[in-house]
Structure 1
Amino acid sequence: MKKYCFGIDVGGTTVKCGLFDVKGTVLDKWEIKTRTENNGCNILPDVADTISDKIREKNLDRDEIAGIGLGVPGPVNEEGEVPAAVNLHWGYVHLVDQMERLTGLNVKAGNDANVAALGEMWKGGGAGYHNVVLVTLGTGVGGGIINNGQIVTGTHGAGGEIGHIHVTDSLDVNCNCGNCGCLEQVASATGITFLAKRRLEKDDAPSVLRRRNLSAKSVFDAVKEGDAVAVEIAEEFGHYLGTALANVAGITDPDIFVIGGGVSKAGPILLEFIQKYYKQYAFMACKETPFALAELGNDAGIYGAAKLVL
């Protein structure tokens, strides 16, 4: 009888690790450093070693372990292969095959944003639903789509790359992906800062933002204070993201949108600007789709990774 599983969220700086029981209760959490030098050749052996150490520490019976779930910052196809993961300095890696050989345990793997979406569906802001779209607003814009309880991976492992939907022709700088006008450029934390700088340079309208360090947080703090220029910036952000999610809804028709990442710490006021434009542009059958804030924070990845193997 299986009693335990591991959820592993591999990031560019640290690897977040969780030991779970099969009901989804986290029994232990810890982190190790992500050693990305030498093309990241140490990452998987380090993960295997820390799992073996935890098995010994907790005196676990390996026959009672359902397996290991892995989330990584890159596309992962249905065979568990990663064509490349830039933040880990990986080229092609057969992730599942290597980890199974290193650990002797069953392994499932997915893109980190998709895995986080699975976690939020299971134990977070999307709990109780089976069709969930997660949008993470951080340095970039991540996305994960869950359909009937299953991650939408796609042929190349790029399913759910919401951040690279084209939303504007007004930019003359390229996104990190190489294209121009991506959602990530105008709706991420750095994107909101870009919108703020562009708005402040437009004219001399008074704003508390002229006396503060510009960031997504300072913009939404100013919105809460009723600053008119900050509200304009938030409206532009909401227009881009709300319109993009209206398009996503026309394809996926989710039960709920869950908004996470650092920008989501602005709270419910953030959702107001997104929903305003979402409702304006969404197909009539999808207009009342609810929005919620993510609840698992940095633990969404380990929860989702654990769910992969359960």
Structure 2
Amino acid sequence: MERLCFGIDIGGTSVKLGLFTENGNLLDKWEIPTRREDSGSHILEDVAATVKKKIADDNLVRENIIGIGIGVPGPVTEDGTVINCVNLGWGIFNVSEETEKLTGFKTRVGNDANVAALGEMWQGGGRGYKNLIMVTLGTGVGGGVILNGEILTGSNGAAGEIGHITVNPSEEDKCNCGRPGCLEQFASATGIVKEAKRLLDKSKEPSKLREIQHLSAKAIFDCAKEGDALANELVEELCRYLALALSHIAHVVDPEAFVIGGGVSKAGTMLTDLTKKFYENNVLFALKNKDFKLAELGNDAGIYGSAKLIIGK
């Protein structure tokens, strides 16, 4: 019988779980609530309970289960120690050791954005590459760096914080991290809307954007596709800043490809093509002609990547 593993993505609202074969076939997926009360002390207990229930309900043979991979929203060191997961109420402790005690299965843990990047490399938009950068453009901007098929974690598990690369030193407003000029302030869904309001306030140019009561990243890209000049200016600004950040990373790690995900990525090839155009203007000759791909796994990237953590190469 083919060996199995669990891929688990712990978020602030829910815990997503998947049962996988070691070849990457998703057999089943489900969710449980994230109980953040009591400093998140019940979260891993609930994870262990639902894993045990799945094994019992499906009559799974424990010896056929490789182990458990987990993605969490915070820095994680190589040994599975989390460094303050604010959204879960966790301080510093070893998630791998605790989960192994509760379940009896070998456990590996990674940062959720890094794990999502690993999932996209394995079974998503990054298939076929072993060296890639993933950036997720959602409410914020996250990212992950994959080198030789492995997550680059850094000394404190904080590698891949792409959203906090400084792209505009003259910006005065501060990012949520406390510093001004971060990529997240311009390339996130909330960032482009904020920039749109700024532009509409200082420009007298007519625009369809003025007719939209509740601006969104999607509305801005839709208007740009229809030829709206101000919307196109906003989209170009986002892609220019994104390309600048990616070019900085490329000069350090020289990836094969960039994978772009998150809600903003639904803009499709307009986003990737324009970002690639600006990227080409920012890099050395040897770093040109990289592939720009759209993420494919959506909200399942985390459970795929978590499963890949425990399966390994």
TM-score bracket, normalised by the shorter chain, equals: over 0.9
Cross-structure match for 1:167: 167
User: Does the residue aligned with 1:249 lie in a helix, a strand or coil?
Assistant: helix
Separation in 2, partners of 1:296, 1:25: 13
Separation in 2, partners of 1:270, 1:142: 17
| Amino acid corresponding to residue 133 of structure 1 in structure 2 | I
Q: Provide the aligned C-alpha RMSD in A.
A: 1.0
Separation in 2, partners of 1:37, 1:143: 28
**Number of residue pairs matched?**
310
TM-score normalised per structure 1? 0.98
Cross-structure match for 1:71: 71
What stretches of structure 1 move > 4 A for 4+ residues in a row?
none
Cross-structure match for 1:179: 179
User: Does the residue aligned with 1:23 lie in a helix, a strand or coil?
Assistant: coil
1:217 aligns with 2:188: no
Query: After the TM superposition, which residues 89-108 of structure 1 pair with which residues of structure 2 at under 5 Å, given as runs?
Result: 89-108=89-108
Cross-structure match for 2:278: 277
Q: Which runs of 5+ in 2 are unaligned?
A: none
Query: After the TM superposition, which residues 222-237 of structure 1 pair with which residues of structure 2 at under 5 Å, given as runs?
Result: 222-237=223-238
Cross-structure match for 1:10: 10
Q: CA deviation at 1:175?
A: 1.4
Larger CA deviation: 175-184 vs 24-33 = 175-184
Q: CA deviation at 1:170?
A: 3.1
Separation in 2, partners of 1:291, 1:123: 16
| Amino acid corresponding to residue 138 of structure 1 in structure 2 | G
1:255 aligns with 2:256: yes
Q: CA deviation at 1:2?
A: 6.4
User: Does the residue aligned with 2:258 lie in a helix, a strand or coil?
Assistant: strand
Q: Which runs of 5+ in 1 are unaligned?
A: none
Larger CA deviation: 139-148 vs 172-181 = 172-181
Cross-structure match for 1:55: 55
Cross-structure match for 1:238: 239
| Amino acid corresponding to residue 86 of structure 2 in structure 1 | V
- Superposed CA deviations along residues 215-261 of structure 1, whole A, max 9, x for unmatched, are 11111011111100000001111111011101111111111100000
Residue pair 1:2, 1:63 contacting (<8 A) in 2 also = no
| Amino acid corresponding to residue 167 of structure 2 in structure 1 | V
Separation in 1, partners of 2:138, 2:122: 22
Residue pair 1:246, 1:283 contacting (<8 A) in 2 also = no
- Superposed CA deviations along residues 66-99 of structure 1, whole A, max 9, x for unmatched, are 0000000100001110110111121112111110
- Superposed CA deviations along residues 111-143 of structure 1, whole A, max 9, x for unmatched, are 000000000000000101100111000011000
Separation in 2, partners of 1:168, 1:36: 36
User: Does the residue aligned with 2:290 lie in a helix, a strand or coil?
Assistant: coil
TM-score normalised per structure 2? 0.97
Residue pair 1:18, 1:27 contacting (<8 A) in 2 also = yes
Q: CA deviation at 1:173?
A: 2.2
Percentage identity across paired residues of the two chains: 58
Separation in 2, partners of 1:226, 1:164: 31
Cross-structure match for 2:23: 23
| Amino acid corresponding to residue 298 of structure 2 in structure 1 | G
Cross-structure match for 1:84: 84
User: Does the residue aligned with 1:78 lie in a helix, a strand or coil?
Assistant: coil
